[in-house]
Amino acid sequence: AQKVTQAQTEISVVEKEDVTLDCVYETRDTTYYLFWYKQPPSGELVFLIRRNSFDEQNEISGRYSWNFQKSTSSFNFTITASQVVDSAVYFCALSDMNYGGSQGNLIFGKGTKLSVKP
């Protein structure tokens, strides 16, 4: 069965600290996609990144970086020099082929609430 685990329920850091959000996934498919979304208090899920299972290169976008390791089924997200505006709930999600190719079937973790204090 497909599953996404975000073991960290809440994290609190002080501005400018680095923080890593963990994501572990389970799937029997060899082709799958992983996502991170950010959810501010307004409720909208903001897309951050998408990676496919064949691309294990780490990615950096400004202060954000992602570490994808198939060997440990993990797709961790690091924010460098955190800012107050980074405060939000962050979700990791999995999309694989077990749903007959339906695009909309993202399996989400329970999310990690990040609080960045000034």
Partner 1 sequence: DAGVTQSPTHLIKTRGQHVTLRCSPISGHKSVSWYQQVLGQGPQFIFQYYEKEERGRGNFPDRFSARQFPNYSSELNVNALLLGDSALYLCASGPDGISGNTIYFGEGSWLTVV
Sole binder of partner 1 in the list 21, 23, 36, 37 (CB under 8 A): 37
Residue type, 21: L
Asked if 49 and 21 touch (Cβ cutoff 8 Å), the reply is: no
- To partner 1, the closest distance from the beta carbon of 21 in angstroms equals 13
CA 101, CA 108: separation in Å to the nearest integer? 17
Q: Is 111 in the site for partner 1 (CB under 8 A)?
A: yes
CA 49, CA 13: separation in Å to the nearest integer? 23
Asked if 48 and 38 touch (Cβ cutoff 8 Å), the reply is: yes
Sole binder of partner 1 in the list 2, 11, 22, 33 (CB under 8 A): 33
Collapsing DSSP states into helix, strand and coil, what is residue 52? strand
Q: Is 75 in the site for partner 1 (CB under 8 A)?
A: no
Q: Is 118 in the site for partner 1 (CB under 8 A)?
A: no
Q: Which residues are near partner 1 by CB under 8 A?
A: 4, 31-33, 35, 37, 42-47, 50, 52, 91, 93, 95-97, 99-111
